[in-house]
Amino acid sequence: MNAPAAAKHLLPEIHLRPVPQALLDALAARFGAQCSTAQAVREQHGRDEGSLKAPPPSAVVFAETTQDVADAVKLAAQHDVPVIPYGAGSSLEGHLLAVQGGISIDVNRMNRVLSVDADDLTVTVQPGITRKQLNDAIKDTGLFFPIDPGADASIGGMCATRASGTNAVRYGTMRENVLALEVVTAGGEAIRTGTRAKKSAAGYDLTRLMVGSEGTLGVITEVTVRLYPLPEAVSAAICSFPSIEAAVRTTIQTIQLGVPIARVELIDAHTVRMVNAHSKLGLREEPMLLMEFHGSPAGVKEQAEVVQEIAAEFGGNAFEWATTPEERTRLWTARHNAYFAAVQSRPGCRAISTDTCVPISRLADCLLDSVTEADASGIPYFLVGHVGDGNFHFGYLIDPESAEERLKAEDLNHQLVARALRLGGTCTGEHGVGLHKMGFLLDETGAGAVDMMRAIKRALDPKNILNPGKIFAL
């Protein structure tokens, strides 16, 4: 393995490519009011929820059809101008930043459910629909889409970043749940990958190639995903622990015993305090596991009893059950708002978020040493984790104008990633590489693998117009 990368990417590298007036005129002629060069619109589409900044794109095209996307890409390709797909804007690693200039293609208006095939447990949607909109649209079918990254992200964006989230321990990630795609290539051609069949051995797996490609290989315009029956019974519980280690050991033993828990989230004491203030809750300000069980009434009861016994062995106490939808929503809303609660706890701050994931057997080793480092740094932070699959996030809350604080937070992040890689883990479990983790990707995969990725990128995007400057330098 390569030595860990030195602390870098404190600011993105900006290499703006010219956007000729002829392209802007052509976009205006083709799209009319669907194309905007207004400063406020451009700035909105030139940032995400992360801490990095770059100049905004030169124009924004609001696509309403696959043909709109194809025409926008064709026009950009004629002028060698970058295109950056835009969904909900909830990414964290600088995915949306126009570091080489260009135009943004906003797919939010492409938010329809195209077909529901309940008998086959699949649905085909446009990329701009969000996960909440999708589940609202199919709620009368008795089915649901389980991938929950926390933010109400768009399905297309979730495909692009290979998202997962709180339900991944039971239902997997976008990698396992995307069956087929429609994608506009760098030349402006719409192609289809995959089918609604559960399996296929027909040629290269282009669907998996596109899932996680972060907009660098194509613009996703349709998605077919798996659905699951709504569980007959759902129960949620919170349990407080005397230490983070006790909560983590409980999680590890639960997974190793094969308990089919649907969600198990770690929230540290700092985060509980922030969530209490933000959501007006009265949770015990100790390390906490927030859990959810799906299945039959008897199965849910058995799972919960097993986990409660395990927790008791590690000092877990104050179990609080939430069996009604309203109670469960209250708890999970608080968890989903943890990021915003943390940011509001230090007005004006930005969060540098980590995203390591390690084998479950090494979770305690990685997490506890990282907590020690964070505590010693003096940087305010929050800690949440989808610990059932070994994934956790620190959010270092920094003053964005303080170079010293940013450097200290980046150093913490580098130490954490280096530790995760030594333990057989990854630099990003679900956020993607974007700009922020490009150096880490080389550390994790090695030069040969990155060179292969570059070769694929050059073959599919010879003009390097599809979200250039992300994942690796080219």
Confidence of residue 191 (pLDDT cuts 50, 70, 90): very high
Q: If pLDDT is split at 50, 70 and 90, which confidence band does 324 have? A: confident
Torsion angle (degrees, nearest 10) of CA 228, 230, 232, 234: 110
Q: How confident is the model at residue 252 (pLDDT cuts 50, 70, 90)?
A: very high
Q: What is the average per-residue pLDDT within 5-32?
A: 84
12 falls in which pLDDT band (50, 70, 90)?
Answer: confident
Question: 275 with 344: CB under 8 angstroms?
Answer: no
* Cα–Cα dist 109/106, whole Å: 8
Q: What percent of the chain has pLDDT over 70?
A: 98
282 pLDDT above the threshold of 50: yes
**Given the structure tokens 């870098």, which residue do they identify?**
8
State the Cα–Cα distance between residues 340 and 402, nearest whole angstrom.
21
Among the residues of 337-380, which ranges form H helices? 338-345, 363-377
Predicted pLDDT of residue 319: 85
pLDDT of 51 reads: 81
Which pLDDT belongs to residue 5? 43
Residue 8 has pLDDT above 50, yes or no: no
Across the chain, mean pLDDT equals 94
CA–CA distance, 128 with 106 (Å, rounded to integer): 8
Q: Using CA atoms, how far apart are residues 227 and 412, in angstroms rounded to an integer? A: 39
Rounded alpha-carbon distances, angstroms, from residue 400 to 350, 396, 403, 411, 435: 6, 11, 8, 15, 17
395 sits in which H/E element: strand 391-398
- How far is 388 from 290, CA to CA, in rounded Å? 11
Report which of residues 360 and 324 the model is more confident about: 360
- Average pLDDT of the segment spanning 384-403: 94
Question: How many angstroms separate the CA atoms of 148 and 394, rounded?
Answer: 19
pTM of the model: 0.93
Instruction: Decide if pLDDT at 54 tops 50.
Output: yes
Instruction: Give strand ranges (E) for 58-132.
Output: 59-62, 83-86, 103-106, 113-117, 122-125
Question: 8-12, 190-194, 380-384 — which is least confidently predicted?
Answer: 8-12
> At residue 49, does pLDDT exceed 90?
no
pLDDT at res. 10: 56
* pLDDT tens-digit readout, 427-474: 999 999 999 999 999 999 999 999 999 999 999 999 999 999 999 988
Cα separations (Å) of 157 from 210, 225, 286, 353, 407?
A: 11, 13, 34, 18, 29
Q: Quick check: 428 and 462 in contact, CB under 8 A?
A: no
Average pLDDT over residues 124-152: 96
Q: Give residue-wise pLDDT tens across range 58-74.
A: 999 999 999 999 999 99
Q: pLDDT tens, 214-226? A: 999 999 999 999 9
Please give the helix or strand (H or E) that residue 181 lies within, else none.
strand 178-184
Residue 2 has a pLDDT of: 42
